[in-house]
Structure 1
Amino acid sequence: MDWEDLRHFAALATGGTLSAAARALGVEHATVARRVAALEQALGLKLVDRRGRRLALTAEGERIAAVADRMARDARAVRRLADGARSDIAGTITISAPPALAVLVLAPVLATLRRRHPALTLTLLGEVRSASLERREADIAVRMSRPMEGDLTARKLAPLPFHFYATPAYLAATAPADWVFIGSAAPLDQSPQQQVLEGLAAGRPTVFHGNTVEIQQAAAASGMGVALLPDFMAADDPRLAVVSGPPVLSRDMWLVVHSDMTASAPVRAALRCIAQEMSVPM
């Protein structure tokens, strides 16, 4: 039995489809199918029921998938422990963060990190989802809420203030009682900023929903209404004016790493740089 075949089968069992497994492994879906077929042949067992495009694990497949998943977790733990022991500041580090934060805040910070440590290669992922640090989808994550599960180490970063923003023309022409609002669509529709906006709207209509903060900012800049936006995005936008007063909302940011990686010299260098550049001692 080839471990690579088992690893591809484990990815299929986790992802549920050939395409999901292929994306997770960074290969073509035909490679996953070939590897799973090779595993079935080596074991002399049928692991997957193929019914057209639908795939389902057999009873034997379910049991072997559970063992393969444990083996995959152990293999990742070995890799983390090995990487965590590295003393040279070199190699590749992957950082995951919300898209707007990645573009406007972290990309310049990582440029500073590269100047300090030119042997590092950096990957920055702007994504709404929370990358799995246990599965090494990222080495470091910046998150908008403190993780409550997993063997993770988290540090609080600077708070992220939000204000209401609209065009100067809209604010001049529209009394607050007549404001209409720009809100969040899924996956942000359950976010703290959307809940705060709904409470403060107090019955006034939300006429537009965007599924990214960038879309909401563009809608506000077009004069469509008032949006609740983070200051790091909107404060310097010449198309927008801030509604004066204290922040409507302040959200905490968290710098998160798997606990196995806290001793890694490259990861520590990246954590230190991010914390320093975002004005938080590390």
Structure 2
Amino acid sequence: MDWEDLRFFLVLSRCGSLSAAARALDVDHATVGRRIAALEASLGLRLIDRLPRSRPLTEDGAAIAAAAERMEALAEEVLRRSRGASLTLSGAVRVSLPPVLATLCVAPRIETLRRLHPQLKLVLLASASFAALDRGEADIAIRMSRPEEPDAVARRVGAMRFRLYASRDSAARPAEEWAFVGFDESLGHLAQQLWLRKIAGGRKIVFEANDLFAQQAAARAGAGAAALPTFMGDEDDALVSLPIEPEPPKRDLWLIAYPDLRRSPAVRAVMDFLADCIHAEPRLRP
């Protein structure tokens, strides 16, 4: 059996169709089809039903896919352990974190890390979505929620507090005339967005973005009031804080890594640096 054929099959089992699997693997769908056919031939089993628009798994295919999931998890564990053992105080360490922390908290202090460890390179993966630590997409993560990965180790290093901010012109209007700026539907589950919709009530949310900097710019332009982190909004002279009850929620900040990687001197150094960055900002302290 070719192990690469099994990897293609595992992706197909998750995606459900040749075209979706091909996009995920960055190959053409014919290549996926050939790989699956080769795996079926080597195992002597039919793994998928070939329907016009989908490729559902057969009973044997579902069993093989479940076994392949476990094999993939073990392979990722091997890679994490080898990466943790091979990293010294040099090379690149990848950190997944919210864009606002990357831009306003970590990047401005990067020279401190460079002076301490000149051979170490920090790679910031700034995104509102989570990088999968268990799949090796990042070495460390800072998140505003506890880790979903069962074996990851996390410690609370700070808290992000929010307030409602608006331009002076917007703030001067009667409260019943306020408009609001918030996240789009992709991030509608966030605690601060749920709070914003609740306090907006029947008033309009006139602008949505999946990025806090875009929301800040819209608030500065007078579009409406935005729920921004205090260490972001308090520093903006074009914005004022609006008194509102109940207060916006506080989000804990968690520093997360896998035990295998935490043994690496490079990962430990970066984790200490990230914790120091957060502690250096008074409005992010727990």
- Report the TM-score, using the length of structure 1 for normalisation: 0.84
Q: Aligned ranges for residues 43-58 of structure 1 at < 5 Å?
A: 43-58=43-58
Whole-angstrom CA distance in 2 between matches of 1:77 and 1:23: 26
Query: What does residue 142 of structure 1 align with?
Result: 142
State the one-letter code of the partner of 1:190.
Answer: H
- Give the aligned length: 278
Whole-angstrom CA distance in 2 between matches of 1:242 and 1:33: 58
Query: What does residue 123 of structure 1 align with?
Result: 123
DSSP-derived class of the 2:188 partner: coil
Residue 70 of structure 1 and its aligned partner are, at CA, apart by 0.9
Q: 2:203 aligned to 190, 202, 205, which one?
A: 205
Residue 136 of structure 1 and its aligned partner are, at CA, apart by 1.5
Whole-angstrom CA distance in 2 between matches of 1:22 and 1:107: 36
Correspondence 1:40 to 2:40 = yes
State the one-letter code of the partner of 1:205.
Answer: R
Does the 8 Å contact 2:17/2:53 carry over to 1?
no
Does the 8 Å contact 2:155/2:256 carry over to 1?
yes
Whole-angstrom CA distance in 2 between matches of 1:199 and 1:266: 44
Query: What does residue 218 of structure 2 align with?
Result: 219
Residue 68 of structure 1 and its aligned partner are, at CA, apart by 1.0
Whole-angstrom CA distance in 2 between matches of 1:89 and 1:146: 28
Whole-angstrom CA distance in 2 between matches of 1:58 and 1:66: 12
DSSP-derived class of the 1:208 partner: strand
Residue 184 of structure 1 and its aligned partner are, at CA, apart by 3.0
Whole-angstrom CA distance in 2 between matches of 1:106 and 1:33: 45
- Deviations along 1:22-63, one digit per CA (max 9) or x if unpaired, are 5665x4245544433332332233323333442222222211
- Deviations along 1:177-227, one digit per CA (max 9) or x if unpaired, are 4323223332222221123224444x4513325142333223212212211
Does the 8 Å contact 2:207/2:223 carry over to 1?
no
Whole-angstrom CA distance in 2 between matches of 1:154 and 1:146: 7
Correspondence 1:8 to 2:26 = no
Deviates more, 1:106-115 or 1:80-89: 106-115
Could you say if the C-alpha distance between residues 89 and 34 of structure 1 is closer, same or farther in structure 2, counting changes exceeding 3 Å?
A: farther
Query: What does residue 171 of structure 2 align with?
Result: 171
Does the 8 Å contact 1:187/1:211 carry over to 2?
no
Whole-angstrom CA distance in 1 between matches of 2:193 and 2:69: 37
Residue 256 of structure 1 and its aligned partner are, at CA, apart by 0.8
Q: Provide structure 1 residue ranges, at least 5 long, that are not aligned to the other structure.
A: none
Does the 8 Å contact 2:165/2:233 carry over to 1?
yes
Residue 111 of structure 1 and its aligned partner are, at CA, apart by 5.5
Q: Aligned ranges for residues 38-187 of structure 1 at < 5 Å?
A: 38-86=38-86, 88-110=88-110, 112-147=112-147, 150-172=150-172, 174-187=173-186
DSSP-derived class of the 2:170 partner: helix
Deviates more, 1:235-244 or 1:267-276: 235-244
Does the 8 Å contact 1:178/1:204 carry over to 2?
no
Residue 147 of structure 1 and its aligned partner are, at CA, apart by 2.4
Query: What does residue 267 of structure 2 align with?
Result: 267
Whole-angstrom CA distance in 2 between matches of 1:21 and 1:275: 39
Residue 276 of structure 1 and its aligned partner are, at CA, apart by 1.2
Query: What does residue 255 of structure 2 align with?
Result: 255
Does the 8 Å contact 1:109/1:273 carry over to 2?
no
DSSP-derived class of the 1:129 partner: coil
Whole-angstrom CA distance in 2 between matches of 1:275 and 1:155: 10
Q: Provide structure 2 residue ranges, at least 5 long, that are not aligned to the other structure.
A: none
Deviates more, 1:84-93 or 1:129-138: 84-93
Whole-angstrom CA distance in 2 between matches of 1:126 and 1:49: 40
Does the 8 Å contact 1:188/1:211 carry over to 2?
no
- Seq. identity, %: 43
DSSP-derived class of the 1:9 partner: helix
Whole-angstrom CA distance in 1 between matches of 2:252 and 2:4: 41
Does the 8 Å contact 2:133/2:149 carry over to 1?
no
Could you say if the C-alpha distance between residues 56 and 86 of structure 1 is closer, same or farther in structure 2, counting changes exceeding 3 Å?
A: same
Whole-angstrom CA distance in 2 between matches of 1:55 and 1:117: 50
> In angstroms, what is the RMSD of aligned CA positions?
2.9
